[in-house]
A and B are shown apart, each in its own frame.
Chain A
């Protein structure tokens, strides 16, 4: 359904030092730096899949989304989505996708959301019945009935994001691109938005590709993740696989009343145990169980300090990603 092959994209960015004199100088002579946003990116996504696309800031996530949605033209490479090349057959392609940019609104700011929906109906050439059915469905699903008559500017961020996603789904797209859909939302709204995305994927069979920095999004939504760093795909696999890869790492939190395991030379030199954070009377370690077993780590710690509490947890997705970033040095 989605097929990318060898996509490359380079941006030419003007470079100059800070300061007024440099700004004046830049008026006359500019130095450009080539930024390789994407280098040889290839992957495929089949129908109905939910894919989490992750990577640090500036890794090329948004550029990939923009290429797949037909906004940017890549320098090289092939991209086939439903048999169309997005940047060449832009209009036909646009009719079958929905795009949500978490940081930008697509609703008309000063009019009720329902009015925006009506205009979208005409933009996407939907007939009355299809539109009505689709809108009613989304209003029930996203619980919009109370806010749909409110101007977009008066909505809270969480309410607006629900409306944004609904707006992108009105024309029943086969593919939904979500670029940081939960950015800036509170915990309750985040969970709500996640549930909606999940339901849409299940009920309509919509293919979903989402970029996010929030690992809970990934854990809650996607089975497959693609990791990108410095414009390259570093890992493409299921979340479970990645967890296995990282499961040798445990987090070890101790509270102590006597002794000082933090500044202890013996603990510090223990292979496989590294300090994450510490406050007076509490320390958190990362433990690599492949080098050091849980029991010997606990023994070592209890020899050096009087422990009052101890918790051991497996790696969260968050830590997994941090360790992946470290591993690939991005």
Chain B
């Protein structure tokens, strides 16, 4: 963990070398997610409620997913851009160092510009938490935190699968973005909005609903099942198959050039 801090420091130093670029990218990230937010806002002012959820509740859901995604992207960026790590030979370097390779990929890249998105998520929380009319007990707060933690886990798992596929294709598969970026976009609204089929897919195949829809039901008192509150923890289990795929991938690694 201390070593991770050291890596973070050196990467922060690197990114700070290009201050203007850093600030502009952060602002850009803020604005792009802000437009998504505006989309929801206008939609909801027209219709008042989507599938029974009020604007504030949807915003809460939006903020939780956005926060999980931006945190995951900030710290797991190494997996997201793994195809470049493979093609420029950086992975060779990682393998000749006496540390765990997942840790090193994790620590090799951090995207601090995602702070723009994170800030957006915090802003929406600041509005939605008091406005949602939820009575914030200890349980509810814990649920919200679990939603974010579970979300980070699932997005991170997707990044790892995405990276592991690079071992076989060398190039990244854009198809995977349906599940990562797409997951974020879908996640703006409670997943039940999209119908039964999609909800089932995001429950059993890729567990987005486990950290988004079901805990939200508990949060908004639509269900009082404690199970729904704890489902984000189950979503973390998604990491296990992801890591297995990764291990298989490493064994297939064949390096590039010279």
Contact = CB atoms under 8 A, between A and B. Distances in A.
A94 B98 contact: yes
A90 B95 contact: yes
B89 A104 contact: yes
B222 interface: no
Given A70-B95, A90-B95, A123-B97, A103 B251 contact: no
Interface stretch (A107-115, A231-239, A306-314): A107-115
B248 to A, nearest CB: 12
Contacts of A72: 253-255
B14 A123 contact: no
B251 A119 contact: no
Contacts of A124: 97-98
Residue of A66, A71, A92, A115 most packed against chain B (CB within 10 A): A71
Interface residues of B, number: 24
A179 B89 CA distance: 13
Given A104-B90, A123-B98, 19 more contacts: A66-B255, A71-B92, A71-B95, A71-B255, A72-B253, A90-B95, A91-B100, A94-B96, A94-B97, A95-B98, A101-B92, A103-B258, A104-B89, A104-B92, A111-B14, A111-B17, A119-B7, A125-B98, A179-B258
A41 interface: no
25 contacts: A69-B95, A69-B96, A70-B95, A71-B95, A72-B253, A72-B255, A92-B98, A94-B96, A94-B97, A94-B98, A97-B96, A99-B96, A101-B92, A101-B258, A103-B89, A104-B88, A104-B90, A104-B92, A110-B17, A111-B10, A111-B17, A119-B10, A123-B3, A124-B98, A151-B17
Contacts of B3: 122-123
Residue of A11, A69, A90, A179 ringed by the most chain B CB atoms within 10 A: A90
Nearest to A70: B95
Interface string B1-16: 0110011001001100
A57 B100 CA distance: 32
- The 9 tightest CB contacts between A and B, nearest first, are A95-B98, A110-B14, A94-B98, A110-B17, A99-B96, A71-B95, A91-B98, A104-B89, A122-B3
Contacts of B89: 101, 103-104
A189 interface: no
B99 interface: yes
A301 B232 CA distance: 90
A111 B13 contact: yes
Interface in A60-79: 62, 66, 69-73
B14 A73 contact: no
A108 B2 contact: no
B93 interface: yes
Give the interface centre of A95, A118, A122, A125 by most chain B CB atoms within 10 Å. Answer: A122
Contact of B14 (A90, A99, A109, A180): A109
Interface string A102-140: 011010111100011011001111000000000000000
B6 A110 contact: no
A73, A109, A111: residue with the most chain B Cβ atoms closer than 10 Å: A111
A106 B97 CA distance: 11
B70 to A, nearest CB: 23
A91 B99 CA distance: 6
Contacts of B97: 94, 123-124
A122 B93 contact: no
A212 B10 CA distance: 33
Interface string B68-103: 000000000000000000001110110111111000
Interface string B95-117: 11111100000000000000000
B165 to A, nearest CB: 16
B55 to A, nearest CB: 44
B223 to A, nearest CB: 47
Interface in A178-211: 179-180
Given A73-B251, A119-B6, A122-B3, A108 B96 contact: no
Interface string B237-258: 0000000000000010111001
Contacts of B253: 71-72
A123 B254 CA distance: 24
B252 to A, nearest CB: 9
A187 B7 CA distance: 36
Interface in A80-94: 90-92, 94
Contacts of B2: 122
Contacts of B7: 119
Interface string B143-185: 0000000000000000000000000000000000000000000
Given A73-B251, A124-B98, A66 B10 contact: no
A176 to B, nearest CB: 12
A70 B94 CA distance: 11
Given A11-B254, A72-B254, A111-B14, A122 B6 contact: yes
Nearest to A121: B6
Contacts of A91: 98-100
Contacts of A73: 251
Contacts of A70: 95-96
